[in-house]
Amino acid sequence: MKKILTILTLSLIAITSIFGKSAQVQLETSIEETPVSYKLAYDGKDLTDGIENYTIEVAPLTKAGNTKDFTIYANSNMNSDLEVTVKVSPHSFKTILNGNTEYDSKIEPKVKSILSIEKITAGLHNKYLVNKFNLFWEGNKDLPAGDYVSNVYIYYSIK
């Protein structure tokens, strides 16, 4: 009897495995891409969004000078690579003489690139440094007195 019960049990297990069913299930979810954000900073301090003009005090033009570092950081979770474009266009230092005559010092700041990345690879990036540079120039002790200004245009884009 025990033998017949064992044979029946084994037969039932074999039949169940022949006629048994199975299923595969996939769990799906998604993480939305958020628009890439990026910030320009000077000397470690973010330059506020929406303000287009900043004044940075530098050493007198009678001596060689330089700025502290400018940096551009990006935040992204995009699932495709992003192109980075940074263009820095400094213009020579100028002042006004006699209250109405523009005087060009002919001293144009030069850009010293410390780090420049052309592409952000797909993935999660938080405060990712994509560009770092500063400006420097040679001084001239023979310049007339005045308040000199060099307009520097910084264009940056991540697409």
CB 85 within 8 A of CB 155: yes
Rounded Cα distance between 58 and 2, Å, is 100
Segments in 1-159 forming alpha helices (H): 2-19
In this predicted model, what pLDDT tens digit does every residue of 47-84 receive, in sequence order?
A: 866 567 888 999 899 999 999 999 999 999 999 999 99
Q: How many residues does the chain have?
A: 159
In this predicted model, what pLDDT tens digit does every residue of 96-112 receive, in sequence order?
A: 999 999 999 999 999 99
Confidence of residue 132 (pLDDT cuts 50, 70, 90): very high
| pLDDT at 16 exceeding the cut of 60 | no
> Percent of the chain at pLDDT above 90?
72
* Average pLDDT of the chain to the nearest whole number: 89
| pLDDT at 136 exceeding the cut of 90 | yes
| pLDDT at 94 exceeding the cut of 80 | yes
Prediction pTM value: 0.78
Rounded Cα distance between 61 and 81, Å, is 42
CB 148 within 8 A of CB 102: no
CB 84 within 8 A of CB 129: no
Confidence of residue 1 (pLDDT cuts 50, 70, 90): low
Rounded Cα distance between 152 and 66, Å, is 13
* pLDDT score at 21: 81
* pLDDT score at 12: 56
| pLDDT at 159 exceeding the cut of 80 | yes
Rounded Cα distance between 146 and 100, Å, is 12
Q: What is the CA radius of gyration of the chain?
A: 33
CB 153 within 8 A of CB 109: no
CB 63 within 8 A of CB 55: no
SS3 content of the chain, % helix, strand, coil (to 5): 10, 40, 50
Rounded Cα distance between 113 and 125, Å, is 22
Q: Which one has a higher pLDDT value, 48 or 9?
A: 48
